[in-house]
Amino acid sequence: MNRGDPQNGWDTDQFPNSTEEMTLALYTILRAGGLTTGGCNFDAKLRRQSVADDDLFHAHVGGIDTLARGLLGAARLIEDGTLAAHLAQRYAGWDGPLGRAILAGEQDLDGLANLVASRGIEPRPVSGRQEMLENVVARVTTRLT
């Protein structure tokens, strides 16, 4: 587990320090079955302005603390069920006949275009509720102290 600079687009081998990011990562891992026989490995090293031995010590301590807080936050999110409920509601259409046909490869883009044109379907954007859900995660992670 390491982090990078989102503006770079790749990881920079830095230790994790965002409880919110680790909460969401561990939430996804736990919902997919957990770590099972695996674990977490820091693929991080001294590469920045910190070059003293104790910098690496502090990086490990801070990184594992961030992971522990992320695990607590992920557990709270799973117990709360808010994210899972919104996700299920947002993608409920994939459980219907058309959604299942698309997922099964029984519908291609041309067929879907014809269906939309023949039925006069006018899809409207539906809010993903991003800010509200980000606040759910923020509230969970700020109560971890």
Per-residue pLDDT of the chain (145 residues; tens, 9 = 90+): 777 777 776 767 788 889 999 999 999 999 999 989 888 887 766 666 777 888 888 888 999 999 999 999 999 999 999 999 999 999 999 999 999 999 999 999 999 999 999 999 998 999 999 999 999 999 998 876 5
CA–CA dist 128, 145 (Å, integer): 29
pLDDT for 87 equals: 93
Question: How long is the chain?
Answer: 145
pLDDT for 46 equals: 66
pLDDT for 53 equals: 80
pTM (predicted TM-score) = 0.79
Element (H, E) at 12: strand 10-14
Q: How many helices (H) and strands (E) does the chain have?
A: 6, 2
CA–CA dist 30, 24 (Å, integer): 10
Handedness of CA 15, 132, 9, 36 (dihedral sign): positive
φ, ψ (nearest 5 deg) of residue 11:
-80, 150
CA–CA dist 145, 140 (Å, integer): 10
